Structure 1
Amino acid sequence: MKNMCCHLFNISEVKRAYIGVELNLIKVIMQISSDGEELIFNLTDLAVKVTKANLSSLSRTEKYMHIRAPLLSYEDIDCTPETWIPTKIFEKIPEEKRKVAVVSYRSPDHFVFNRERLQSMLIRVELLEEEYTQNLEEPLMMMFQILNSSAHQANHALECQFYDEQARSNNDWSKQGCKTTKNESGIFCTCDHMTPFTVLLVPTDSIDLASWEIQSIISYVGCSLSAFFTAAAILTHVILRSPTQDHSASIHVSLSAALFLLNISFLMNEWLANMRIMPLCMFISVFMHYGLLCSFTWMAIEALHLYLLIVRVLNIYIRSYVAKLAVVGWGVPAVVVGIAFAVRSEPNLFYGLEVITVGNSTSALCWITEPRYFYGLNLSYFALIFLFNNSILLTVSIRIFQMRRFEKKDSMTMPWKQACMVLGLTCLLGSTWGLAFLSYGALSVPMQYLFCIFNSLQGFLIFLWICRTSRKAKREAVSRTTS
């Protein structure tokens, strides 16, 4: 009978049902009236501390109410988590219902579904009025002590996560809405909701601190070079442009301008993020996202123009061709970012401050804070452009190598020139961004290095391409004039 019960309790659906019953029990305990401001219930497997929020006893400058999780035994005092409850949430709740419960668990086994590796005590934070536990204006703050510091592994990180009681899949634990900060006292967590919380040991993206620092240096150096040379390309085009130049130069310079926006916003991002000014952080994150989408869009326009230029040579006259391309290249990303910002313009929903932890180092970045929005938009947007561009690159490459038999030049030098042209087009069409799809498994680290090198230097490489094509165009113009 005992073995049957143990086997039954290993079933995920049974665990979830038990957690739901346990939550109802905690709600019943919270409704028990008491004369004091604090009431503690010690049960067999958990302890519940119910605290009344007395706003009159708190000064106006106190935004948080400090509550230490209840002890299950006196031996737990060194690792018991601490919580700071934002007092602002109690302002909308009737005085008799201003109660908060902090629950400590002796064993977290019924919260383990997919071999999660819990590294701290597990606690639950609940309000008597459940509708106020989500989307907190002031975040809930918690401090956890790590139970087994020797169990940490390479390519793993400590991360604040919560048990998602509304999950409709096998991902019962999530980090959405939570941020992790590691300091000498332990792991500091801030979350925008109230549920069960703990610290998990999770695999990282197979990058250690040394690789992270090297790749950061490569990215900053490469983006600095790209920003300088794309600015030079734009200025040169503005000063020396002529009415007789073809549309390719205008498209190249527009792509350079988009990359300049992306590079300059990336270089300013971490500096502005460390200032912790949220409106400024939101502005630079929106600005960088717009630059990224503009870069992708102009890469697609480069591919379309290349197709019209080399594959479909005849009957390609389009009235106000460059102007229409500019509307698409700058307008479509503006519409996408504008809609996202207008629909959910509140702080820390779509754009805001992200804290990245690698090993013992943390860095701040102003970027997209909503993972579903990040992956749903950026990856789908780029994936479509990547497939479109590479299909055209393959078609154009075949056409270029087919032209070889019509050229009357040294057969030893022609293949090298054709190969260099294909490599230049690969950079121009942004095919190197596809290395992100290969940054997994055994190829993760080398692909990350290649991704940083090629994409941070993309603006510089396009500048070299513009110089080469402009010199070739001048030679051809001189040759025609001489003829």
Structure 2
Amino acid sequence: MCGTWHHGIASRNLKYDLKTGCEKIEISANESTLSVRGSITAKCTESSSIPIESNPHQNQSHFCVFWEPLLDLLIVEVNGKNHTLCRSNGLQENCCTDLSPDKQEAVALYGIVNGSIRGDIIKEDVMKMYDFKGDTINCKKKFCDEARVANMIMSKCMCLCVCRIEEVVMKSNTMGPVHLPCVQSTVIEMKEGFMGLNLTLPTPKIESSNMTPSVYLPSCLKSNSSNKSKVVCTYFKDKALFQGSSDAVLLVDIVGLSVENEIIKDLPEPVKIKFHHSVLPANCSRKCVSWDTRRDNAVNWRYDGCETLKIHDTVTECHCNHLTYFAILVQVEQKDTVRHLKELTFITAVGCAVSLVSCLVLFYWLSKRRGKKTQITLVHRGLVVAIFLLCLFFILTGTLANVGNERVCKITGSLLHYALLSTLCWMAMEVFHTFLLIRKVFDSNLPTWIFYLVGFGLPVLLVSVLLLTEQIHKVDIYGKREIVPSDNVSSPYFMCWMLVNEKSLLAHYIINVGLLAVVVSSGAVMLFLVVREIRNRPDWKKIHVAFLSIWGLTCLFGTTWGLGFLDFGPLSEAILFLFCIINSLQGFFLMLRYYALERMKKKDRSFSDGSSSGSSKQHMLQTHEKS
């Protein structure tokens, strides 16, 4: 209750007379005295008078009377100065509350003006006295019930209700375990020389002690600015207090940690909270989450600031660098999972390793060719270098994502993206050059530097634009990407690549998918044209020659990447494995094609007798080599 006390200019005092019980409380005022008397306390019995310091020329003072029944705490504030009439006696089981106005007595000059309850005006007139009557209730139970009701009615009240619980525990002046129907808390006092502490939170009567969370408080929690401070560890068994909008399921246990009068963040040593829970299904992930009440009014569980450690199938430990409310969030429905991720990753890594060696061998062969290097040889070399870089960065990306920092991962992700774009651009150049050869009867005079500008220069431009977009729009496009396997969502695979956000996805579909669609479609058309051009030659009728030609051109033109567009339907898993096997071994297949063509040319030269048949066969092999 608040109001304005009209008084005289002589000395003034605050008088109080408080007894236990739940009869009434009377707040009155006259020329020199503000009085609070009555029987509403649980344990407090106090009677005294306090001088009020104020300006002698001032004839009015603002005052408020604060009654906290759960703590048996009564405070009177006069002109901004607090006077504690009843100090906290701990959390009370039974208390006097629900105080409602009863008798009121009016006067003409000195008294209380604009008396109000929680901001609502009772009387604007000058009143000599206000009486309030209350009811005796189970304070702890009602306190928890009101928190649940507030959460169901309005989520924005959630912050106030949950914070209120910890605030009440902090003010209770109780050390050690504190029990409420909805929470169990432990109050720890950190003194000089605090070296850290392991503790198991209080056990509810309905639960075994080995199932309650345990907490490790590091020594860095103790501030050097104060000799001692209190930390409250609260165990919320009622998750109804924390229901928020989410497509995931919150496990039963929630732990709240707070230090008296301090905001704790960016700890050099993390707080560790160990949760015990039942065995989770194989398709469910577990994530440590926290809700910062200073950041979000409504319940909004966030992943940042906490690291999840899977200790056992039934034990999860959270390492967090701040203090707030912590819990385990179980993701039931995984929308972005990959089938057979472990097998596919192994196959791709082995294929890339084989392609790396093959690209080195093939580049050496192409560099050591006798005679003048043709333009088609230089284009082949550009594709080989691009495939080599793609395989190299793909092998490195998983390792660097686990051992490198964010900056290293961002650089690696951008280099991997560059290598992918360069590979696709060089495949497009193979298609374009073949088109020129066909149109000009296998003779192209286009400058070679144009091919290198597109094959190596265009990817640099595209990646640079994305990196510049990161700086302008303050959004991360490259970084550590988490890929979740569908068979074991608790063991994700990390790689340095494009992240999952609006800007990254837009860039992926426009640049990656768009360029891939152009390469695959143009490559398929060119494959058809080249096959039609050479299918009437004499050696084409030999099955191995026809297969070698089609397969080699398919690898050169990048049409095998079109399998990525067929990952749907009943054959999707088979398509996924074919995609990884064929494209990771692309460098090996190109080396194999080149080796086979060289053997066929040598064989043709050794058996050629200068006949028209031999001449036709030699022309066919040259055609294959140029294509």
TM-score under structure 1 length normalisation: 0.69
Secondary structure at 1:460 match in 2: helix
Q: Select which of 512, 515, 533 maps to 1:385.
A: 512
Is the counterpart of residue 294 in structure 1 residue 418 in structure 2?
Answer: yes
Question: Paired residue for 1:182?
Answer: 310
How far apart are residue 25 of structure 1 and its match? Answer: 0.7
Secondary structure at 1:103 match in 2: strand
Question: Paired residue for 2:374?
Answer: 244
Question: What amino acid sits opposite 2:182 in the alignment?
Answer: D
Secondary structure at 2:358 match in 1: helix
**What is the count of residue pairs matched by the alignment?**
443
Q: Select which of 229, 239, 253 maps to 2:384.
A: 253
Question: Paired residue for 1:61?
Answer: none
How far apart are residue 19 of structure 1 and its match? Answer: 2.0
Question: Paired residue for 2:284?
Answer: 156
How far apart are residue 220 of structure 1 and its match? Answer: 3.7
**What is the CA RMSD across the aligned residues, in angstroms?**
5.2
How far apart are residue 453 of structure 1 and its match? Answer: 2.9
Question: Paired residue for 1:71?
Answer: 203
Whether contact under 8 Å (1:159, 1:200) holds in the other structure is yes
For the structure 1 residues 396 and 263, does the alpha-carbon distance in structure 2 shift closer, same or farther, using more than 3 Å as the test?
closer
How far apart are residue 143 of structure 1 and its match? Answer: 1.0
Query: Aligned partners of 1:243, 1:399: CA distance in 2, in Å?
Result: 24
Higher RCO structure, 1 or 2 (CA under 8 Å, sep 6+): 1
Question: Paired residue for 1:47?
Answer: 184
Q: Select which of 53, 67, 88 maps to 2:220.
A: 88
Q: Select which of 21, 32, 38 maps to 2:171.
A: 32
For the structure 1 residues 12 and 308, does the alpha-carbon distance in structure 2 shift closer, same or farther, using more than 3 Å as the test?
farther
1:317-370 CA distance string (max 9 Å, x none): 4683355343444576578679979x99xxxx98679898987898797645xx
Alignment gaps of 5+ in structure 1: 1-5, 59-63
Q: Select which of 119, 124, 128 maps to 2:256.
A: 124
Query: Aligned partners of 1:167, 1:462: CA distance in 2, in Å?
Result: 56
Question: What amino acid sits opposite 2:160 in the alignment?
Answer: V
Whether contact under 8 Å (1:220, 1:267) holds in the other structure is no
Query: Aligned partners of 2:168, 2:225: CA distance in 1, in Å?
Result: 18
Question: What amino acid sits opposite 2:374 in the alignment?
Answer: T
Q: Select which of 382, 401, 406 maps to 2:528.
A: 401
Is the counterpart of residue 111 in structure 1 residue 242 in structure 2?
Answer: yes
Query: Aligned partners of 1:98, 1:433: CA distance in 2, in Å?
Result: 60
Question: Paired residue for 2:84?
Answer: none
- Indicate the structure (1 or 2) with the bigger Cα radius of gyration: 2
Q: Select which of 429, 433, 437 maps to 1:305.
A: 429
After the TM superposition, which of the residue ranges 400-409 and 312-321 deviates more from structure 2?
312-321
Query: Aligned partners of 1:323, 1:163: CA distance in 2, in Å?
Result: 52
Q: Write the mapping of 1:138-149 to structure 2, written as runs, cut at 5 A.
A: 138-146=269-277, 148-149=278-279
Question: What amino acid sits opposite 2:513 in the alignment?
Answer: F
Question: Paired residue for 2:585?
Answer: 457
Question: What amino acid sits opposite 1:105 in the alignment?
Answer: F
For the structure 1 residues 303 and 57, does the alpha-carbon distance in structure 2 shift closer, same or farther, using more than 3 Å as the test?
same
Question: What amino acid sits opposite 1:41 in the alignment?
Answer: V
Whether contact under 8 Å (2:390, 2:423) holds in the other structure is no
1:14-58 CA distance string (max 9 Å, x none): 452242122431453365384x8x454322212333434435232
Question: What amino acid sits opposite 1:43 in the alignment?
Answer: L
Q: Write the mapping of 1:189-228 to structure 2, written as runs, cut at 5 A.
A: 189-203=318-332, 204=334, 211=340, 213-228=342-357
Question: What amino acid sits opposite 2:272 in the alignment?
Answer: M
Question: What amino acid sits opposite 1:233 in the alignment?
Answer: L
Question: What amino acid sits opposite 2:348 in the alignment?
Answer: S
Query: Aligned partners of 1:406, 1:445: CA distance in 2, in Å?
Result: 36
Whether contact under 8 Å (1:230, 1:260) holds in the other structure is no
Whether contact under 8 Å (2:150, 2:158) holds in the other structure is no
Is the counterpart of residue 17 in structure 1 residue 145 in structure 2?
Answer: no
Query: Aligned partners of 1:107, 1:380: CA distance in 2, in Å?
Result: 42
After the TM superposition, which of the residue ranges 9-18 and 385-394 deviates more from structure 2?
9-18
Query: Aligned partners of 1:354, 1:473: CA distance in 2, in Å?
Result: 49
For the structure 1 residues 19 and 157, does the alpha-carbon distance in structure 2 shift closer, same or farther, using more than 3 Å as the test?
same
Structure with a larger share of its residues in strand: 2
Secondary structure at 1:386 match in 2: helix
How far apart are residue 177 of structure 1 and its match? Answer: 4.5
How far apart are residue 292 of structure 1 and its match? Answer: 1.8
Whether contact under 8 Å (2:564, 2:579) holds in the other structure is yes
Query: Aligned partners of 1:66, 1:130: CA distance in 2, in Å?
Result: 21
1:428-456 CA distance string (max 9 Å, x none): 78445567xx58x9777556544543454
For the structure 1 residues 95 and 186, does the alpha-carbon distance in structure 2 shift closer, same or farther, using more than 3 Å as the test?
same
Whether contact under 8 Å (1:100, 1:128) holds in the other structure is yes
Whether contact under 8 Å (2:256, 2:324) holds in the other structure is yes
For the structure 1 residues 31 and 372, does the alpha-carbon distance in structure 2 shift closer, same or farther, using more than 3 Å as the test?
farther
Alignment gaps of 5+ in structure 2: 1-144, 603-617
How far apart are residue 138 of structure 1 and its match? Answer: 3.5
Secondary structure at 1:297 match in 2: helix
Query: Aligned partners of 1:161, 1:445: CA distance in 2, in Å?
Result: 34
How far apart are residue 406 of structure 1 and its match? Answer: 5.4
Query: Aligned partners of 1:213, 1:319: CA distance in 2, in Å?
Result: 42
Question: What amino acid sits opposite 1:19 in the alignment?
Answer: M
Secondary structure at 2:193 match in 1: helix
Question: What amino acid sits opposite 2:181 in the alignment?
Answer: T
Q: Percent identity?
A: 17
Query: Aligned partners of 1:89, 1:442: CA distance in 2, in Å?
Result: 56
How far apart are residue 252 of structure 1 and its match? Answer: 0.7
TM-score under structure 2 length normalisation: 0.55
Whether contact under 8 Å (2:356, 2:388) holds in the other structure is no
